Amino acid sequence: MNVKDIKVGCQTFTWEMLGDRFVGGPDDLLKAIADGGYSGIEITDTMIGRYADRPSQFAAALKSSGLTLVSFAFGSNSGFTLKEEIGADLDAAQRWIDFVSAFPGALVSMGSATVVSDGPRADKFAIAAEVYNRAGELGRKAGVQVAVHPSSHHNTLLFDRADYDRIFALLDPDLVGWVPDTGHILRGHKDMADTLRTYRDRIRYIHLKDVDANGTWAMLGKGVCDTRAVIEIAGAAPRFNGWLVLEEESETAAADPAGAVKTNRQTMRSYGA
């Protein structure tokens, strides 16, 4: 894939991380992201707001904003690691798969498995893999691709390379894709390029963000992430759908989310995307 064919989206977590300081709604997000120069959006269950049960209305709002839904992301208080919550987690997956089925080509991204209870780590990997695989089956029946998004946040089960190797060994690559996040990989282990290449057949789209050498979130291009290498690897990934979704969690974004994501979009243009 040529870099000129790369499509650039924006993840709404930049606003979600503000918590109560963000008093707007989904339409404010659409405007900020469209004004920032993006062509796609990844939105979460936390930020979908009044559109949660109105996919047709959300589709109309996206169209009027000139945006495409790249993916819908959701997590669970269970961390996808509690056996007694598997049913509830799959019900949530079905709900959002049904929602996303109204948006051709959009995916459902399931958040990182996290440790929310005592007990052996191996058991937690097994439970998470069961949830992800069964959600992938639900997605296949509905014609919606499902993917997993590991993170480096507190209590994640999917932090270092050994964790990635372990969960991917348990996941059906045809049922569950991967949304690699460059920042989270770099915070957990330094072999980002090798991790991306090793599991490139599982890549569906990519979360692109940056960190400094200490693992602190940085604006895109201001840290250690080799963005050109990411673009090169993505272009050779057979199931990569062409979307780089920029996500910004730095202090700069906390002070001015709309300004930060606009600056990141300008930075991407320097790479030709």
DSSP 243: E
Give the domain extent around 100. 3-269
- Assign residue 242 the CATH number of its domain: 3.20.20.150
Mean pLDDT value across the chain = 96
pLDDT at 190: 79
Domain count, the chain: 1
CA distance 273 to 270: 7
pLDDT(97) > 80: yes
Which alpha helices (DSSP H) does 7-146 contain, by range? Answer: 13-16, 26-35, 55-65, 86-100, 121-142
pLDDT at 5: 87
pLDDT digits (tens, 9 = 90+) for 145-192: 999 999 999 999 999 999 999 999 999 999 999 999 999 999 998 789
pLDDT digits (tens, 9 = 90+) for 60-75: 999 999 999 999 999 9
pLDDT(4) > 80: no
Amino acid identity, position 145: Q
pLDDT digits (tens, 9 = 90+) for 35-91: 999 999 999 999 999 999 999 999 999 999 999 999 999 999 999 999 999 999 999
Residue 155 has which token pair?
Answer: 């209590």
E-strand stretches of the chain:
7-11, 40-44, 68-74, 107-110, 146-148, 176-178, 206-208, 210-211, 217-218, 243-246
CA distance 265 to 273: 9
pLDDT digits (tens, 9 = 90+) for 187-200: 998 789 999 999 99
pLDDT at 102: 98
Cβ-contact 169, 161 below 8 angstroms: no
Residue 119 has which token pair?
Answer: 């007990």
* Model pTM score: 0.96
pLDDT(140) > 90: yes
Residues 113-131 have a mean pLDDT of 97
pLDDT(3) > 80: no
pLDDT at 115: 98
Whole-Å CA distances, 177 to 150, 151, 170, 192, 205: 11, 15, 12, 18, 9
pLDDT at 124: 98
pLDDT at 58: 98
pLDDT digits (tens, 9 = 90+) for 200-247: 999 999 999 999 999 999 999 999 999 999 999 999 999 999 999 999
Place of tokens 């072999």: 191
* C-alpha gyration radius of the chain: 17
Instruction: Name the band, by pLDDT with cuts 50, 70 and 90, for residue 2.
Output: confident
